[in-house]
């Protein structure tokens, strides 16, 4: 089978800054490849899409999600109240709440999705739903996320970086993981292209 695109998707925070697309695109160009890459910051985009009305969710649920966030114990609850006290638009605050990836926010989102009978969102769910996997090679972060890939995708078309998620923390905290991602992708991209040499469209 030919290689028509590389799909680099991951729920890990470390894939957001820089995005995996930025990590891979320069490498492909430098190697003379025109194979497109699908990849971007994933979870926050999808969750904010949900709260802003996709999936045919009624506006009332935006308010309900915000109410849950405000009622949930924790320092971030006080921070959100402060944002509202300072005049922040409630709908924007709701988008912010569902875009965050700390454990407390994940619990809110999980309840939110259970009430609406939705799958718990992740970058994989969104991007793989939108992507045509035929002719694609997938780059994923960790073995724990491998189970989210459809069984119809052959193992030969999947590369696992072996990098676990990095929740919270500062950019400095994430720097070692970002370097690890870049290093592994540096080695991986030429291998992927070589695997399909002579078949790439």
Whole-number pLDDT of residue 102? 46
Q: What does the pLDDT look like over 134-189, one tens digit per residue?
A: 788 888 777 766 766 777 888 999 998 887 655 445 556 667 777 787 788 888 88
Highest mean pLDDT among 13-22, 62-71, 130-139 belongs to 130-139
Whole-number pLDDT of residue 32? 76
199 vs 184: CA distance, rounded Å: 24
Q: What does the pLDDT look like over 37-49, one tens digit per residue?
A: 665 433 433 344 4
Whole-number pLDDT of residue 77? 56
Sequence-distant (≥ 6) Cβ neighbours of residue 107 within 8 angstroms: 72
Whole-number pLDDT of residue 124? 46
What tokens were used for 65? 């999600």
Whole-number pLDDT of residue 98? 55
Asked if residue 58 has pLDDT above 60, the reply is no
Measuring CA to CA, how many Å separate 11 from each of 23, 28, 91, 102? Answer: 16, 22, 24, 12
Q: How confident is the model at residue 24 (pLDDT cuts 50, 70, 90)?
A: low
If we measure between CA atoms, which residue out of 154, 149, 159, 163 comes closest to residue 191?
Answer: 159
Asked if residue 106 has pLDDT above 60, the reply is no
Mean model confidence pLDDT for the chain:
63
């Amino acid at each position: 089978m030919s290689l028509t695109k590389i799909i680099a998707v991951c729920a890990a925070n470390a894939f957001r800054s820089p995005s995996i697309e930025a990590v891979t695109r320069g490498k492909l160009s430098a190697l003379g490849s025109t194979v497109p890459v699908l990849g971007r910051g994933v979870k926050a985009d999808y969750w904010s899409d949900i709260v802003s009305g996709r999936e045919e969710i009624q506006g009332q649920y935006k308010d309900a999600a915000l109410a849950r966030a405000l009622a949930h114990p924790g320092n971030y609850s006080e921070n959100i109240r402060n944002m509202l006290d300072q005049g922040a638009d409630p709908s924007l605050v709701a988008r912010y709440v569902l875009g965050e990836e700390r454990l407390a926010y994940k619990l809110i989102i999980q309840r939110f999705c259970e009430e609406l009978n939705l799958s718990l969102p992740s970058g994989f769910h969104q991007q793989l739903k939108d992507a045509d996997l035929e002719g694609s090679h997938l780059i994923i972060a960790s073995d724990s996320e491998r189970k989210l890939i459809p069984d119809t995708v052959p193992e030969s078309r999947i590369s696992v970086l072996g990098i676990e998620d990095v929740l919270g923390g500062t950019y400095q905290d994430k720097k070692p993981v970002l370097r690890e991602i870049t290093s592994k992708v540096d080695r991986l991209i030429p291998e992927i292209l070589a695997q399909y040499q002579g078949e790439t469209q």
